[in-house]
Copies of this chain bind each other. A is one copy, B any other.
Amino acid sequence: MTERVNRLGEFELIAKHFAPLAGKTPGAYGLKDDAAVLTPAAGHDLVLTTDAVVAGVHFFPSDPPATIAQKALRVNISDLAAKGATPRVYLLTLALPPGVDDAWFTAFASGLRRDQVRFGVTLVGGDTVATPGPLTISVTALGEVARGKMLLRGGAKAGDDIWVSGTIGDAALGLRVAKAEDVGLDKKHGASVLHRFRIPEPRWVLGRALVGVAHACLDVSDGLIADLGHMSEVSGVKIEVEAQTVPLSPAARSALTAGRIGLSDLLTGGDDYELAFSAPAARRHQLSALALTTKTKLSRVGRVFKGKGVVALDRQGAEIGFTRKGFAHF
């Protein structure tokens, strides 16, 4: 059994780098207690989600510590967004390999601080443990939603439209750029997709606005086709995607044109953290307006039918085959 280092180190680490992130948040007790207390808002449910990221699996150990922190937090904020919840607090658990130094923690905490302001969340607790393995970051995030109103994966109904926010496939391109693969992008496009891979943009303002509008919602983390597969399965419906309507960024179009990547790579690429949702056709005008008020690009990419499974159709209406349907996390 690995010798445990003196816990004093842990207390100093918390006092210096993490207690300031809790600040005077009521219930966090400056991270000096065993637990945090949260008084739920009247008439609201709490939404709970947890996601972990591992160095060498979900991010590169050499990535900037601030963006590692941001990604670990944002993948959780994105889950709250997909549920229509307003982010409120989070807990942070770090399994730390030897040799992580003070400068690393300073940069890591600065990334969290920036995102706390951006997403209106505060750190209220956590744990730090030693590991002989890679840096592992586990975040649990809690948000609030009006009682009984949480958006589900399982609500899609025949006749609904399928919508997605933003653009699809950029993070998959970014991963290739991070791995120094040549995907035929110029410097600017390369940098933009790398940024999307490193720091996803959770759509929580949109998610909140979709409460009472969308029938089903999720965030695209495994790849659009795989995630719509989850929606289809849990909802008990068939989903058809018209591939040419899936929104692509200029960078993704450029990579397609260069021929270094296929459309199916983009449709099945993970880590986009856009929202994919179903809504009745009667909501189209409302959603167009909502795209404006939330300043979020929304695209209608498919429809829901009775049946099961998800298919993507090309311009001629022929089914596109995939060698894999999604990004593999595990």
Contact = CB atoms under 8 A, between A and B. Distances in A.
Interface of A: 1-7, 9-10, 13, 27, 29, 32-40, 45-54, 56-58, 60, 79-80, 82-83, 85, 89, 91, 93, 95-97, 124-134, 136, 138, 140, 142, 145, 147, 150, 152-154, 175, 178-179, 218-219, 222, 226, 230, 234, 324, 326-330
Given A5-B328, A129-B54, A140-B91, A47 B35 contact: yes
Contact of A36 (B48, B56, B128): B48
Nearest to A28: B48
Given A131-B133, A324-B6, A329-B129, A39 B45 contact: yes
A56 B1 contact: yes
Contacts of A50: 91, 93, 125-127, 138, 140
A289 to B, nearest CB: 26
Contacts of A40: 40, 45-46
Contact of A53 (B54, B89, B129): B129
A50 B178 CA distance: 32
Contacts of A51: 93, 127
